[in-house]
Structure 1
Amino acid sequence: MSSGNKTSAQAQQKFTNLRKRLDQLGYRQTLGLESLPLVEKLFADLVHTTESLKNTKLQLGKTEVESKDVDSAIEPYKSDNAKLVKENNDLHQQIIKQKDESDAIVRELKASLRKLEHENADLIFLNNQYVHKVKQLEKESREKSDRILNLQEKNFHAVVQTPGGKKKSIPFRRQRMEIDCAVPPSEGPMKNAFIAADDPYVADLLQVADSKIAELEKKVNMVCDEKEVLDRKLKSFKQQVGYHREEENLTEFSFEAFMYFHDKPV
């Protein structure tokens, strides 16, 4: 058999096979031998496209099933994350509210502290004035005592009249007093000043001033204690927010790790 006849026979065989396959698929239009290469190429592309479409549909169905599984798996994480976000927002709002209240209380306490400090300074100044007045009264008292002693010394001469009508001056003998022990020294100038004060009004004023100073110092200590309590509460709220943020980050990390290992090709 010549090469030309062999080629013609091969072409005829290809034509027959292609014709059968086209008929099986419902393509019964007339097919010329001269268009055999083009139709054969188009048919091969059609078969490849059909297979690709079938595989794509299968893969899509598998992906949908896996997507549903992933949604079911991450649903608890979504719920926990939403819960943590809500708690974090609530805590943040609570901290802002607590901070505003704390700042307002601190400002009020500072204003009260300044007022008490001013009142305390005024009372200390008034107390110093009273102490100065007591010292002046002590000085005046000593001067009066010295003056009385001088007057007594001038008049310490007795005059005796005799039956004859004569007057005779007799030196008066000053009385003496024996003291077993001296008065114990005072603990400080303030105590001596208060003891030596003979004016009840001044003593009452000093006592009132001391009581007021003690009361103000007590109020200052209470204000400082309240401020310390507020600072501790604010620090505790900040720590709670930090813990919730760590839980939120851990949940987000777990979710990302789950998605990474799920999407990682085997």
Structure 2
Amino acid sequence: MRMGNIWAPLAKAIAATGTDRHVDCLIDLIGADIEHDLVTVTRYSATQTPEFVKHRRFSDEMVQRYLASYYVFDPFYASWRRERRLGIMPLKRLADDEAKRGQYIAGFLAQSEICDEVGIMLADGGDWCLGIFLDRSSASFKDSEIARLEERLPVFAALHALDITARGNEFSRTSVPTGPGASPQQKPSIPASLWPELSQRERELVQLVLAGHPTASIAERLGIAIGTVKNHRRRIYEKLDITTERELFLQFFQARASRLNGP
């Protein structure tokens, strides 16, 4: 382990646990000797839409685009909802051929001028994780750099666990973004003019889908059986002439884009 460049940020990160400086000091430690161009920090839930905590040298406009539409294509978010796997997660391990042609890499990252990223995924209480992402604009992360992060992961995880303990497991409340580089979470809202063919119950269900809830969570929130949720989904897809959840999101985002651009 090359420790020469990280002793000072390690000491600061230890001292910052339980304070508002924790995330920033953790970023400094993680990126101390890993070259990167920018940093983004996101919280992922298995049942809710992502929260953007903060960023460094990233575009506020792209943050808003991510929260408004691109999060549904985020492979890190999809992986967390599917597997809840913590640790060091390079983009290249998630990026199959379909993802490389998809909205996240070909769209969001291209517009953000990012060519590669690696996520440090840390347990954040309940079904949440904290993702700290190092991003590069012109070169991919080397295997040796990924290995260095994996070697140090237990330190990163222990520091964040200490911070959660010191805060009484209230990270979400104490980390509400307030300064530059921060953006609040946005929840999608279905305009009244969109999908008039849907019943009120079906609109409630679609609202939960757009907010990131899986089938089991929707069933619990609406007080119905999982099978009933699936039946509702099938009828909704038939009414909207679609076959997948992805098409549902695309219809929603296209309608909102048309409304925002206006005549």
User: TM over 0.5: same fold?
Assistant: no
Q: Normalized per residue, which structure has more helix?
A: 1
Q: Could you tell me the TM-score, scaled by structure 2's length?
A: 0.16
Q: Which has the higher contact order (CA 8 A, sep 6+)?
A: 1
Structure number with bigger Rg: 1
Q: Could you tell me the TM-score, scaled by structure 1's length?
A: 0.16
Q: Normalized per residue, which structure has more strand?
A: 2
